[in-house]
Amino acid sequence: MNAAVQTPSNEDLSRRFSDATKLAKLGELVRFRLAGIPEVQKVDVSGAELFLVPGFMDPRDCREVVRVIDRKAEPSTLYDGQGNEGFRTSFTHHFDPDDPLTEDIELYISDLLGIDDDYSEIMQGQRYKPGQEFKAHHDFFHLGERYWRDEALRGGQRTWTAMVFLDEPREGGCTQFPLLDVTIRLQCGMLAIWNNMDLDGRPNMKTLHAGMPVIKGVKHVITKWYRQEAWRQLNPL
């Protein structure tokens, strides 16, 4: 007689794929690496780890990436359970990982953080026109949500976020961390990096952040999320 197949519980999945010990160790390694790079500026804030790298990308490369986003962007989507209509009104482009410029940017970011690129999702581009925004949210996965079971098996918890600002809208569009009292003023080519976990490797609620509404002009960014497990090996392209 065949034994019944047991479906792992959410608790089992969380223990394995949002492993606080692993995530704390990763945070320690990235923190140490960034501390040794003179161009990296640590934001003086209590309760979370946030870094800025002005001039990370050349303006010419920024303009080329903007052109790609504008050609191919589609309305952005949300995971089930994250907000409702009007919560995220930007447009998104999923980059081709085999494109040489995409590959160069992805490896450039991963090298800075010291994380193998296999652990990152494919880079995305977002475009915000006047009135468009992404309301306050977390990048990490909330373990009680319906999407967690699928995402646990597709690479586990999101760890670090890297975001490059490709241009500067004339007004609005800042990235705001309301629980940290931090507002990032956009600079073309600047990279923002933050750890979605706390020092103990657990989801950090203080990383709540929002893409504020653009008032004048257009905002383009690229975003890259890292996972606990090797996402690209688990999700063949």
Indicate the domain borders of the chain. Answer: 12-77+86-227
Dist. CA 129–CA 138, nearest whole Å: 22
Q: How many H-runs (helices) and E-runs (strands) does the chain carry?
A: 6, 14
* C-alpha separations of 180 from 40, 42, 49 in Å: 19, 14, 10
Closest CA to 42 of 31, 53, 51: 51
Contact 181, 189 (CB under 8 A): no
At 48 the pLDDT is 98
Residue ranges, the chain, pLDDT below 50? 1, 81-83
At 1 the pLDDT is 43
At 78 the pLDDT is 64
- 36-84: pLDDT as tens digits: 999 999 999 999 999 999 999 999 999 999 999 999 888 887 655 444 5
At 164 the pLDDT is 99
At 4 the pLDDT is 53
Dist. CA 98–CA 43, nearest whole Å: 34
Residue type, 114: G
Strand partners, 160: 195
At 83 the pLDDT is 45
Judged by phi (left if over 0) then psi (alpha if -120 to 50, else beta), residue 67 lies in alpha
pTM: 0.92
Torsions phi, psi for 50 (to 5 deg): -140, 130
At 208 the pLDDT is 99
Closest CA to 31 of 46, 49, 47, 54: 49
Dist. CA 213–CA 193, nearest whole Å: 21
Contact 113, 131 (CB under 8 A): no
At 82 the pLDDT is 46
Locate 234 and state its tokens: 């688990």
What is the CATH number assigned to the segment(s) 12-77+86-227?
2.60.120.620
At 81 the pLDDT is 45
